[in-house]
Structure 1
Amino acid sequence: MKRRHFLQSSSMYLAGAALIPTTLSAATKKVSAADKIRVGAIGINGMGWADLTTMIKHPEAECIALCDVDKNVLDKRVAELKAKNINVTAYSDYRKLLENKDIDAVIIGTPDHWHCKIMIDACAAGKDVYCEKPVGNSIVECARMIDAQKKYNRVVQVGQWQRSNKHYADAMEFVHSGKLGNVRLVKAWAYQGWMKSIPVQPDGPAPAGVDYNMWLGPAEKRPFNPNRFHFNFRWYWDYAGGLMTDWGVHMIDYALLGSKATVPKSIMASGGKFAYPDDAEQTPDTLTTVYDFGNFNMLWEHATGINDGPYQRDHGVAFIGNNGTLVVDRGGWEVIPEVINGSNKMEAVARQPKVDDGLLLHTQNFLDVIKSRKTEDLHCPVQAAAHVATVCQMGNIAFRVGKKIYWDDAKKNFTDNEANDLLLAKYHNGYELPKV
């Protein structure tokens, strides 16, 4: 493998300007057929469907194709669109969808292990791409996806839609103001009480209508098991990275943005299946990860089956400074002053609530940039998404090797061979990491 820089200039992957939301198109805006952006969606059971149904609320977007390896899901979604007088072509193989010359852009809502190949194939086919997070399922994949965007000069937005919420941008502006004083510790977390134990189930035949071989794609060949299918794929290393990559790319993204941080010098992680030791998932249900950036530490925590996280929030980011702490989550942000001898070291800031719809703004931003071709205006370009996904993957690698690991940024690898073995998710079944 050629070691390419998976991180471009700091102005690109820490893009603060890209956090400012665009103005939504008016609901009554008329768009001619010639000016429509024709969209196809690949993987439409969960967030891929949410992305699509939000995107077509904008008058310039038109859905003309759907693809899913589960015919049951595909038929259901085709019928839902038909009920809205939207007629689409249905595909079970994404490669056939990409051959459709009428499609301008695609949404990728598949399990994580498919993101890299489909995104690169879509760029090579001349399509712009809205890809769900995490952008890649390994550090090497993240690098290769940046290379593809650059080579094919496509618009690639990643579904970290919080980057389009105004209250997050306002919170980052406050952090950057210096009012918190020296920020030595940043906490990011996801406590997900609604995510319960997954009971062990036996292997068996794939459901009727499911192209299981296509669902596996580059993942290791295994018998079908319902626990690994649809939503729960995220708890298996073959396909994803657990809560660290599922929620971490959202929360750690803002930890990095607020700190103007690049990559850590070292990472250590401890956790395991402490809540549900005998259930079916592989990834840890409880994890604590410490990243050393040289002049500050970042702490990641996650837990399933628990809602009450730090600051009585089930998710969030806290910037802990000498003068006070800023806490931000999807609902808003506030500042809690440090109190010394009964006196506040700074003024408190009451909770500033969310004021907009991040996903609606994020999809609008994607459409706007498709028209302008000014990729620097994207709220979450692939470079930014690859940066945070890489940092999250580092945390998972530290957990999996069970030791403190050190990153050599000049060589773009770890100083530990065992950790380097996990830089790339292995490809199987005749699939290879796409060449760019």
Structure 2
Amino acid sequence: MNNSRRHFIRSASALMAGAGLVSALPSSLRAVAPSDKINIAAIGINGMGWSDLTAILKNPYAQCVALCDVDKNVLDKKAAELLEKKNQKAKTYSDYRKLLEDKSIDAVIIGTPDHWHCLQMTDAVSAGKDVYVEKPIGNSIGEINAMVAAQERTKRVVQVGQWQRSQQHFKDAIAFVHSGKLGQVRLVKAWAYMGWMHSIPKQPDGVPPAGVDYAAWLGPAEKKPFNPNRFHFNFRWYWDYAGGLMTDWGVHLLDYALLGMKAQHPKSVMAAGGKFAYPDDACETPDTLTTVYQFDGFNIQWEHATGIDGGPYNRTHGIAFIGNNGTLVLDRSGWEVIPEKGKMEAVPFTKSVDNGLDKHAVNFLEVIKSRKLEDLNTPIQAGAHVAAVAQLGNIAYKTGKKLNWDGVKGKFDDNAANKYLAAEYHNGYKIPKI
């Protein structure tokens, strides 16, 4: 989107807002000319990439002009759905690099597996695109650092898909934590108990489905035979492509543990767990894990368990700030305060009333228009912070040690652990230089 188009959109928005028209008119009447819309492309559209695009396209200022996926079956299906539901005809690509050559594209959504985020995000900002990238932003601390450096070099808008930061009840809960009413908070628990996750039976290697460019799907990951268990959704449970529940749900929930405590770098981290529920299934990442991060004056504890719904405080997921006066319990449905006897008043359950993903999409588009990067709800620096903390937990699990972490130098006091900080790229790909 060129400067004149941005000026038009800002001017029109200001005029309508001043007249009280934006909120009064239905979205169908708040359309703008196609030439003045923000042109969006999506790379990786089988899961959250498609959800993110759907949320963004609820805004009348956005239109989808391009889709990219290495699975032609998914690509054709989503292109047809986009045309049918939104009357938007998008160009289709199997190679994201070709998509990035299109100068008419203003912003891209990256919804690919985690091991692709770094290359695609850095290439996108280098091509002059703004980016909405799914969490976790990278699959290693080395990638995370490279992504932050690329954004800071190019000054592009980069929103990370931690949409809880746009949801009001999360903000309200953290404001209560910061009020001091809980007293001294010495322990924060964050957890994900995923009863819907069952054992994934092992399957033999085979040939990729027709229409799938498997080499492109692997990208910088180690070359291995195609296996259906490693493809699409279940990539999350293999170290080559992701970090299991620690980086899948942990990034969302640890983010609020860190925000509530205004915490930066942990002093140490230790983790224990394993494949206790399904020791012989196809997954690599642990189905049961407890991780403890030590900070000055408090600990943050992460735990997850698959196949079980009975998490702490009878919640499948959440964050608990445990203070001397009471405990605030927060999850996606709402928050409440459970008092210590005689020390404070209870705060009854406050239910969530808004859609965090939709609001996150609007925030992204607004900053594209305004260019005020400080207004992003989850800038890449915030996404990098919690992604790195989650990676520290996985490294502690892999080493089986309590590790001391130097947040300033960005390394452990253990050489074996430091080997896990950098990504190992294959197939001719190279991690972007900082």
How far 1:35 sits from its partner (Å)?
A: 2.4
Instruction: Tell me the residue number matched to 2:407.
Output: 409
- Quote the Cα distance in structure 2 between the aligned partners of 1:262 and 1:411: 13
Partner SS, residue 200 of structure 1:
coil
Deviations 1:403-433 (A, max 9, x none): 1111012321011011100001210000010
2:43 maps to 1:42: yes
How far 1:196 sits from its partner (Å)?
A: 1.0
Instruction: Tell me the residue number matched to 1:434.
Output: 432
- Quote the Cα distance in structure 2 between the aligned partners of 1:381 and 1:272: 33
2:61 maps to 1:70: no
How far 1:26 sits from its partner (Å)?
A: 5.7
- Quote the Cα distance in structure 1 between the aligned partners of 2:335 and 2:407: 33
Residue type of the partner of 1:348?
A: A
How far 1:289 sits from its partner (Å)?
A: 0.2
How far 1:72 sits from its partner (Å)?
A: 0.5
Residue type of the partner of 1:319?
A: F
Residue type of the partner of 2:349?
A: R
Residue type of the partner of 2:377?
A: H
Partner SS, residue 359 of structure 2:
helix
Residue type of the partner of 1:347?
A: E
Residue type of the partner of 1:82?
A: L
Contact map agreement 2:271 2:290 (CA 8 A) in 1? yes
Instruction: Tell me the residue number matched to 2:368.
Output: 370
Residue segments in structure 1 that go unaligned for 5+ positions in a row: 1-22
- Quote the Cα distance in structure 2 between the aligned partners of 1:129 and 1:57: 18
Residue segments in structure 2 that go unaligned for 5+ positions in a row: 1-21
Residue type of the partner of 1:144?
A: A
- Quote the Cα distance in structure 1 between the aligned partners of 2:36 and 2:324: 53
- Quote the Cα distance in structure 1 between the aligned partners of 2:104 and 2:70: 22
Work out which of the residue numbers 285, 308, 311 in structure 2 matches 1:309: 311
- Quote the Cα distance in structure 2 between the aligned partners of 1:332 and 1:409: 33
2:151 maps to 1:149: yes
Residue type of the partner of 2:51?
A: A
Instruction: Tell me the residue number matched to 1:98.
Output: 100
How far 1:30 sits from its partner (Å)?
A: 2.5
Instruction: Tell me the residue number matched to 2:386.
Output: 388
Instruction: Tell me the residue number matched to 1:397.
Output: 395
Partner SS, residue 282 of structure 1:
coil
How far 1:212 sits from its partner (Å)?
A: 0.3
Which structure has the higher relative contact order (CA within 8 Å, separation 6+)? 1
Compute the TM-score of the two structures, normalised by the length of structure 1.
0.93
Identity of aligned residues (%): 70
How far 1:297 sits from its partner (Å)?
A: 0.4
Deviations 1:95-129 (A, max 9, x none): 00000111000000000000000000000000000
- Quote the Cα distance in structure 2 between the aligned partners of 1:295 and 1:222: 45
Instruction: Tell me the residue number matched to 1:360.
Output: 358
Instruction: Tell me the residue number matched to 1:128.
Output: 130
Contact map agreement 2:423 2:431 (CA 8 A) in 1? no
Residue type of the partner of 2:408?
A: A
Deviations 1:51-91 (A, max 9, x none): 00111010001000000000010011011112122111000
Instruction: Tell me the residue number matched to 1:55.
Output: 56
- Quote the Cα distance in structure 2 between the aligned partners of 1:175 and 1:425: 36
List aligned pairs for 1:35-434, cutoff 5 A. 35-84=36-85, 85-339=87-341, 344-434=342-432
- Quote the Cα distance in structure 2 between the aligned partners of 1:187 and 1:356: 25
